[in-house]
Chain A
Amino acid sequence: MATTAADARAAVGDAPAGDLAAKVGLTDQQLLDMYALIALTRAVDERMWILNRAGKVPFVISGQGHEGAQVGLAFELRKGHDWMVPFYRSVASVLTFGMTAREIMLAQFARSIDPSSGGRQMPGHYGAARHNILSTSSPVATQVLHAVGIALAAKIRGIDQVVMTSLGEGASNQGDFHEGLNFAGIHRLPVVTVVENNGYAISVPARLQTAVEDVADRAGGYAMPGVVVDGADVLACYRAGREAIRRARAGEGPTLIEAKVTRLTGHSSDDQQTKYRSAEELASGKDRDPLPRFRSQLRDAGVLDDEHESTIAAEIKAAVDDATDWAEAQPEPDPATAERHVYAGDPPDPSAGQPGAG
């Protein structure tokens, strides 16, 4: 069942100019929307790092290099109906699925109205109940089981929800990943598991993480398709995501998608990747940046022109400036609220040793 990245590229890469949208079953406007999401995510992401280097936010973990795969794979999900169970690099995924730049920035500044956690979690731990984006933790791969459970509940309740969860290739070595895929395979659950393979688990290269070349090969052990897709090819990712979502919605079961991406930044703001990646390698990673590649593709196809590009760029700059300034101006959480939401019932918040908690 596995397709290669080359196959996927061949399916769209040769489309004649002006015909690109039709070739992938989208409109020109949808292609522009995808481009705008990728560009917005990149701008939000770069702003995070600037804020960190300026000493305004203590920590950044983000997804530069992953945006094209995330937007393409999630684009076909139904907002407000389906579920997303993200990980800490899922900036583009959550923006695609309904979160806003302001909401992302609220988490960066740890403000009280941050929808992800009210400033309780580190940035990058996304969640938004109103968007069906499940709260994220720091232990890796735990979320795969949550996604499987959400899909199980959807199946039991007879709702045609699809769940998309994401993780890195490093996390794909955790037991939870395998336990989750095994169960999803047994019950043909409507879950799409996306492994964003950037070749590094912080500093440990893929060759020391997995014995197989493609994480997608592991799908065979769980009786589901394993699809390898070039994560720098937005439309290949879109097609892979659309097919997996279609399968899931139709009751045909789960899919494992491995998107080969590049990590353009360090693991986090506390990492210096030049210590373990060569200058040559880092330079070649830039060649796999999905943003300029998609921009060129859309320009070549006549979908994006100077006017579109400058309009989108201006809108994004305004959105990121607004999100930054607005979020920074919001109040910080009050320590008086720190004991809330340990248990149901707020207030009073119970601590251990008090009867009647909850």
Chain B
Amino acid sequence: MPVRTYIEAIRETLREEMRRDASVIVLGEDVGKKGGVFLATDGLYDEFGEGRVIDTPLTESLIIGASIGVSVNGLRPVPEIQFADFIFPAFNQIVSEAARMRYRSNGTFSCPMTIRAPFGGGVHGALYHSQSVEAFFTHVPGLKVVVPSTPYDARGLLRSSIRDDDPVLFFEHKKLYRSVRGEVPDSDYSVPLGRANITRPGTQVTIVAYGLMAHYALEAAELVEADGISAEVIDVRTLRPLDTETLLDSVKKTGKAVIVYEDNRFGGYGAEIAALLAEEAFDYLDGPVTRVAGPEVPGVPYSHGLEDWFMVDPDRIAEAVRRLAAY
């Protein structure tokens, strides 16, 4: 089976979906000849031309707003926001327009589009090239939010997202682009939206994570294994709709949950999972639902030391797991 990096999986899937379906177009800043600042769209311009791979001005609201129009008039756009940090000028278009189009038109209009945006820290991107923005969007009915962590899932979930009939935010962790390799079948498989993945079975503590943290959670599980702690790791993969069944089944089994996310702790996406477990698995819990998340500063600082201070890492997760296991 071919081995691919995360970004190769995304690039190849974009190419295949554009070959398969002439209605799929790509638009964004530098997505054309340059192939995107991370080369996620490299080669698409040469193959599909400027009619389907469109370099836009530096206008994020336009990128999404025009994609809404494109999608209601028969095409299936895959807009790229160059960094998730820059998505906020388009917030109104995503939240007030795309998310509500189906509902507000009583089901007569819809916006099938997949908004790709690289996110996340640990890449020396500082305050404006490191953010985790998922919580702003997981709050919004009408949107779907996807965060793959492996090349296999990147391909399978991107395929599902592009073929989905609703607006999908597809957040790609920048640090995974070239650091993660994995087997990716050439087949036309897809990974359904709304299904979490148990990436490591265990019995004593459930670790819930996504994106880069899904990898760190696995490393943490290895670390605590040496202490005789059996941790189960769940990669959420789709943040909305959330696979509550897999989460609840796991926590009912282990009785303990550590929720890991890179974003600021307060009001972050993991808080929703914590609330879910508190409400629906209360009788099964043997310890406090625990969060390991980013600190309360308004961005990831730049210098090595400061960035390391900010980022959740496997040691911090392992420490929380040990504490909870001993509770």
Contacts and interface: CB of A to CB of B under 8 A. Distances in A.
B107 A142 contact: no
A135 B109 contact: yes
B75 A156 contact: yes
B73 A353 contact: no
Contact of B108 (A127, A148, A153, A352): A127
Contact of A120 (B52, B97, B104, B193): B104
A63 to B, nearest CB: 20
A267 B263 CA distance: 43
Interface stretch (B88-96, B171-179, B205-213): B88-96
Interface of B: 25, 51-52, 54, 56-57, 59, 61-62, 64-75, 77, 89, 92-93, 96-97, 100-110, 138, 141-142, 144, 164-166, 192-195, 240-246, 276
Interface string A121-142: 1000101110000110101001
A176 interface: yes
Contact of A355 (B105, B164, B242): B242
Contacts of B97: 137, 139, 142, 146
A84 to B, nearest CB: 12
Nearest to B164: A358
Interface size class of A (residues with CB under 8 A): 35 or more
B69 A146 contact: yes
Contact of A357 (B56, B66, B108, B193): B193
B72 A120 contact: no
Contact of B241 (A83, A145, A180, A353): A353
Given A142-B92, A148-B66, A179-B61, 12 more contacts: A120-B103, A127-B104, A135-B108, A142-B65, A149-B71, A340-B107, A342-B102, A352-B240, A354-B244, A355-B243, A355-B244, A355-B246
B242 A137 contact: no
Contacts, number: 183
Given A145-B69, A149-B73, A351-B141, A179 B59 contact: yes
A355 B241 contact: yes
Nearest to A357: B241
A150 interface: yes
Contacts of A145: 61-62, 64-66, 68-69, 93
A194 B233 CA distance: 55
Contacts of B52: 156
Given A149-B70, A354-B241, A341 B89 contact: no
Contacts of A186: 57
10 contacts: A120-B104, A135-B101, A139-B92, A183-B62, A341-B103, A342-B141, A344-B110, A346-B107, A350-B241, A356-B192
A147 B73 CA distance: 10
